[in-house]
Amino acid sequence: GAGVSQSPSNKVTEKGKDVELRCDPISGHTALYWYRQSLGQGLEFLIYFQGNSAPDKSGLPSDRFSAERTGGSVSTLTIQRTQQEDSAVYLCASSKARTLNTGELFFGEGSRLTVL
Amino acid sequence: TQLLEQSPQFLSIQEGENLTVYCNSSSVFSSLQWYRQEPGEGPVLLVTVVTGGEVKKLKRLTFQFGDARKDSSLHITAAQPGDTGLYLCAGGNTGNQFYFGTGTSLTVIP
């Protein structure tokens, strides 16, 4: 597809289980971002990948959260030992901008995570 | 974390009215973007401003970047039901980071 693709679109899990969320960015986009959004609220920055550079993990809320990006394309966000407060929509975005911060972010539709 | 506060948080107006949404921060940003998000979808870019004092117009929408590059405003003239959505500002820094605001939920009643 031409846009950012995220899967699953919905995930319901039990407290304490691990979950993996996948993001397939637009082909050729070197920058990839993960954000978290609570219902009707703003976006909380989680992690940023740019090409082959070390990712900026400064937004990850705890060591239960991790992300990787393989081959400079697909990214996986992993949440271990999920807690109820992890329930949110996880949004992925990609951008072709290499320098300067004026590039447009293209977002996927998000993965809605519910932790029971 | 560089915080951007938006006001108001919620806004419900009649079709044809004008409105202004504000985005404020104590941090300086090298760029400021505005996005609109509809339910079940990701945010979509409306505009990018990069120069302090810059004003951009997009049909009925007017965007302004503050002189000190710490704040921005979005003004909508003669609002339409199609303008309904969540409006998000995002500040960019030299590290290609984008920090999003707290959001303004706009409802335009026909």
Q: Report whether pLDDT(A1) > 60.
A: no
> Residue ranges of chain B with pLDDT lower than 50?
none
- Mean pLDDT is lowest, of A15-24, A99-108, B53-62, for A99-108
**Does A79 have pLDDT greater than 90?**
yes
Q: Which residues of A touch B (CB under 8 A)?
A: 4, 31, 33, 35, 40-45, 48, 50, 56, 59, 91, 93, 95, 97, 99-110
C-alpha count within 13 angstroms, C-beta hemisphere, residue A56: 18
Q: Given this model, what pLDDT does residue A72 score?
A: 77
Put simply, the answer to whether B40 touches A109 (Cβ < 8 Å) is yes
Q: Which residue has the tokens 């300086």?
A: B28
Residues A32, B72: Cα–Cα separation, whole Å: 25
Q: What is the mean pLDDT of the segment spanning A49-67?
A: 92
What whole-number distance in Å separates Cα of residue A76 and Cα of residue A68? 6
Q: B8 to chain A, minimum CA–CA distance in Å? A: 12
Per-residue CA distances from B57 to A5, A7, A47, B36, B47 (Å) = 31, 36, 32, 15, 9
DSSP 8-state secondary structure symbol assigned to residue B83: G
Predicted pLDDT of residue A2: 80
The pLDDT assigned to A53 comes to 86
Contacts of A54 (CB under 8 A, 6+ apart): none
What's the pLDDT score for residue A101?
64
pLDDT at A100: 54
